[in-house]
Amino acid sequence: MTTVTKEAGAPVPADAGAFLSVRDLHVSFATEDGAVRAVDGLSFDLERGRTLGIVGESGSGKSVTNLTVLGLHNPMFTTVEGEILLEGQELTTARESELERLRGNKVAMIFQDPLTALSPYYTVGRQIAEPYMKHRGASKKAAWERTVEMLGKVGIPNPRERAKDYPHQFSGGMRQRAMIAMALVCDPDLLIADEPTTALDVTVQAQILDLLKDLQREFGTAIIFITHDLGVIADMADDIMVMYAGSAVERGTTEQVLRSPQHPYTWGLLNSMPRLDSDLGTPLAPIPGAPPSLLNPPSGCRFHPRCTFRDRVGGDRCVTERPLLAPDRAAACHLTAEQKRSIFVDEIRPRLG
Ligand code: SF4
């Protein structure tokens, strides 16, 4: 188990051995209507060669967390508190020049839409070669050879010729592969993949996931894989962190979270997933309601307005008291361990099939 999460207000010492250690991270944006608390007390560790899957609906804070790790937030409008330690180096106070050095060299990101990362004005090959020259001090010729090698690794046919193409000459799947080549060209120690396959058809998606696994085996990269798709997470992640309204609500190994989930929100996510073995006519069961506004989040447990189990806790505890995440395998929920187990076994699992 490599991931440790805990809510705000309950300090956990950073794991000295972790490659990436995030502690009590708070990220808020100033808006005309007030501060939006996009990340509200998040802690986790990640070791080299491991994949942490972060799941949650839109607005759960998963993408903001990772943009903050990369230093890609706008400091004019964003307040960041807490610690982000990369091999012991504090990133929240690092200069932009230092973050720039880390990005593309030690840390890289794959975005959902390759067109946000690839410029239409330069050839694909040039865009892969340039970070290699910049961060590794390679000559133009060596960088071009490296580019051809990387395009071949990500499965672009005839890479020496295709490197001279512009992004619009590539298909969507090929652009995604090119972006992966660009992200991996400097052998980053940490790769953040934000919904990297959402826009692709299932065949290309499966190829790209296999590719990431192969590359991780080869380079020992630590990966943060962000998605709302628990099926993809089951395939990719060693550990899972479930986020809701800016906080972690459940975490554990992939097997623990998927086989015996403990949080009502995780139950809802699992229940709303389409399954290959169910009848086409079987309706999905979406989680009732919508994620809360982070301008004015609900009191107590942030999930309480949507939770169908809060009556089992008794009194108004779910509305008044925010549940914390314990430092071991846990869910941030006031239900007792026995309640979580019996609700899952008797009421949730039969619905999951
Ligand atoms: Fe539901 Fe209460 Fe648990 Fe929140 S703390 S998930 S409202 S039962």
For ligand 1, say whether the CB of 334 is within 6 Å of any of its atoms. Answer: yes
Q: Whose CA is nearest to atom 8 of ligand 1?
A: 310
Per-residue pLDDT of the chain (353 residues; tens, 9 = 90+): 334 333 433 444 555 568 899 999 999 998 888 899 999 999 999 999 999 999 988 888 888 888 888 887 777 788 999 999 998 888 888 888 888 888 877 898 888 777 777 899 999 999 999 999 998 899 999 999 999 999 998 889 999 999 999 999 998 888 988 998 998 898 888 999 988 877 677 877 788 888 888 878 888 889 999 988 888 899 899 999 999 999 999 999 999 999 999 999 999 999 887 655 555 555 567 888 889 989 999 999 999 999 999 999 989 999 999 998 876 668 999 999 999 999 999 999 988 86
For ligand 1, say whether the CB of 70 is within 6 Å of any of its atoms. Answer: no
For the chain, how big is the Rg over CA atoms in Å? 21
Q: Is 76 helix (H, G, I), strand (E, B) or coil?
A: coil
Give buried/exposed letters for 24-60 (b at 16+ CB in 10 A, else e). bbbbbbeeeeeebbbbbbbbbbbbbbbbbbbbbbebb
Cα separation, 280 vs 297, in Å, equals 37
The full set of domain ranges for the chain reads 255-273+289-352
The dihedrals phi and psi of 137, each to the nearest 5 degrees, come to 65, 25
Out of 313, 317, 340, give the residue to mutate to test ligand 1, the one with the largest number of ligand atoms within 8 Å of its CB: 313
Q: Is 224 helix (H, G, I), strand (E, B) or coil?
A: strand
For ligand 1, say whether the CB of 264 is within 6 Å of any of its atoms. Answer: yes
For strand 190-194 and strand 107-110, is the pairing parallel, antiparallel, or unpaired? parallel
Cα separation, 53 vs 243, in Å, equals 10
For ligand 1, say whether the CB of 175 is within 6 Å of any of its atoms. Answer: no
pLDDT value, residue 277? 54
Q: Any bridge partners for residue 25, and if so which?
A: 42
pLDDT value, residue 11? 43
For ligand 1, say whether the CB of 178 is within 6 Å of any of its atoms. Answer: no
Cα separation, 28 vs 142, in Å, equals 43
Cα separation, 10 vs 42, in Å, equals 10
Q: CA dihedral in degrees (316, 320, 324, 330; nearest 10)?
A: 20
328 alpha carbon to ligand 1 midpoint, in Å?
A: 19
Residue 216's contacts (CB-CB under 8 Å, 6 or more residues apart) are: 49, 51, 191, 223
For strand 222-227 and strand 51-55, is the pairing parallel, antiparallel, or unpaired? parallel
Give the sign of the dihedral formed by CA 164, CA 170, CA 175, CA 178: negative
In ligand 1, the atom with minimum distance to the C-alpha of 302 is 4
Q: What is the pTM of this model?
A: 0.87
In ligand 1, the atom with minimum distance to the C-alpha of 317 is 2
Q: Whose CA is nearest to atom 5 of ligand 1?
A: 333
Out of 265, 304, 325, 342, give the residue to mutate to test ligand 1, the one with the largest number of ligand atoms within 8 Å of its CB: 304
